[in-house]
Structure 1
Amino acid sequence: MTAPFLTVADVRLIEQQVKKILRAKSSSSDTKIVNTVRGLAVAELREKLNMVNEDILKEVEILEDSINTELFFHSLKAYTIPFKAISDKGLQKLFKKDKKLKLPKLDSIDWQTISYLSWLDKGTNRQYIVLENEGEYIALRGIYEASTSTKGVCAICNQHSSVHLFTATVKGNGDHYTSYSNYICEDVLVCNSYVSDYTKLEQFVYRNLASNECGK
């Protein structure tokens, strides 16, 4: 069996491009238009996928209906590299300054569907974000403002969604602190379903990284 080679973000990118093709088919009977959209979708996959697989691209080139599309999407799970599961103890170590850390329900998470782990503590208005790269975890903690709920573009997935303001505070030299605020999806699962560019996700976290707040 082929070892997994697609990131979750890769899978989301494939799904998004295939849905563009299906939308073109449903809105136009002009074969040339549909073929143009399909060609652009395949070209974008060739450009952006971490590892190009010709068999997958051939599937994208011949998909014609929603039933076969759902079967195709399901088949991608066999090639998907999951987010490496982390334990409660692992999260407590990442956020060890939070003595009463409220933990997410880890046993309910499908690790093959998330590019990042995040959860809200509504009691403290804190939002926690964890990235994983080859077994190493990167932690970010910030404050979310429920009162800022609005429609807008998420700084993580770059899609239009229901968002709230997330603010991370970074300690600089001496007693100097800098705060960074961004609008991000209110619903973490929705956001994960949109993330198709892991580099942009990493850039968001590193740009806002409050390692002194979370860590050592």
Structure 2
Amino acid sequence: MQTPFIHNHQYNYIYKQAEFLLKTLRSVVDPKVLDTVRYTVSTNAVGIFDDLTLERKQLLEQLSTYATPHDVQLYLNQLQDYLIPYPQVTAKQIQKLFPKAKKLKLPNLESMDYAHTTYLRWIDIATSRLFIVYPHEGRFLGIEGRITPTNKKGYCMFCHRHQELGFYNVKTKANSADNFASMGQYVCMDDKACNESITEISMLEKFLLAAIK
């Protein structure tokens, strides 16, 4: 059995590099340009990891050696064996994260694609509230806020892709325990699309950590 070492957002990044390679192979015939792109793709895939064994480094570098969509897809399928899944979470754990939410609507954990989830999120349509559960340093962080559809496309703060957006407004504690402030950002309306598109987590974590202070 393979030892997982690739997070969902890292897999998404590698997937984007694979798309870039295939696009180049379809449109470029200059061997020097192709060699440059292959080197770039390989370097980028390796560069998103802090520590790699020689075996894992060689596995990632294999991406640059393929020349057909079929071979690239087989390679991406192979990488899925190395995905680190989202930690198992129970309904009780989620409920504890949102003690003030009356009649909390829970996500369908049984149908959740743990391998391809960076952050668990769901919208309660009845209350127009977006809930987020994110694993961070061995524990789950939970935030909630109102999401208002903008009915237009733009760049999501979390995944940086052109998607249908909503304005996400979250209440935060101000300097005084009795006072509250708020913070907001434009994020995807589509939970699945955001998790499939996110390639780095710095902005997501920055927002979440600021929201729970």
Residue aligning to 1:154? 156
The reply to whether residue 31 of structure 1 matches residue 31 of structure 2 is: yes
RMSD: 1.6
State the alpha-carbon separation in 2 of the partners of residues 134 and 77 from structure 1: 23
State the alpha-carbon separation in 1 of the partners of residues 88 and 60 from structure 2: 29
After superposition, the Cα gap between the structure-2 partners of 1:60 and 1:12, relative to the gap in structure 1 and judged at 3 Å, is same
State the alpha-carbon separation in 1 of the partners of residues 25 and 38 from structure 2: 10
1:34-45 to 2 correspondences below 5 Å: 34-45=34-45
Residue aligning to 1:127? 130
Residue aligning to 2:185? 182
The reply to whether residue 48 of structure 1 matches residue 48 of structure 2 is: yes
What TM-score, normalized by structure 2, do the two folds share? 0.91
The offset of 1:108, in angstroms, is 0.6
Residue aligning to 1:105? 108
Residue 92 of structure 1 aligns to a residue whose secondary structure is helix
Unaligned runs of 5+ in 2: none
The offset of 1:134, in angstroms, is 5.3
State the alpha-carbon separation in 2 of the partners of residues 203 and 35 from structure 1: 37
The offset of 1:201, in angstroms, is 2.2
| Deviant stretches of 4+, over 3 Å | none
State the alpha-carbon separation in 2 of the partners of residues 128 and 51 from structure 1: 33
Give aligned pairs, total.
209
What TM-score, normalized by structure 1, do the two folds share? 0.90
The offset of 1:93, in angstroms, is 0.9
Contact 1:118 1:188 in 2 (8 A): yes
Identical aligned pairs, as a percentage? Answer: 30
State the alpha-carbon separation in 1 of the partners of residues 88 and 81 from structure 2: 17
Contact 2:45 2:61 in 1 (8 A): no
The offset of 1:58, in angstroms, is 2.9
Unaligned runs of 5+ in 1: 212-216
Give the partner amino acid of 2:165.
Answer: V
Residue 129 of structure 1 aligns to a residue whose secondary structure is strand
Q: Which moved more, 1:52-61 or 1:80-89?
A: 52-61
Residue 13 of structure 1 aligns to a residue whose secondary structure is helix
Residue aligning to 1:214? none
Contact 2:43 2:61 in 1 (8 A): no
Residue aligning to 2:11? 11
Contact 2:156 2:162 in 1 (8 A): yes
After superposition, the Cα gap between the structure-2 partners of 1:197 and 1:79, relative to the gap in structure 1 and judged at 3 Å, is same
Give the partner amino acid of 1:165.
Answer: F
The offset of 1:68, in angstroms, is 1.3
Residue aligning to 2:63? 60
The offset of 1:94, in angstroms, is 0.9
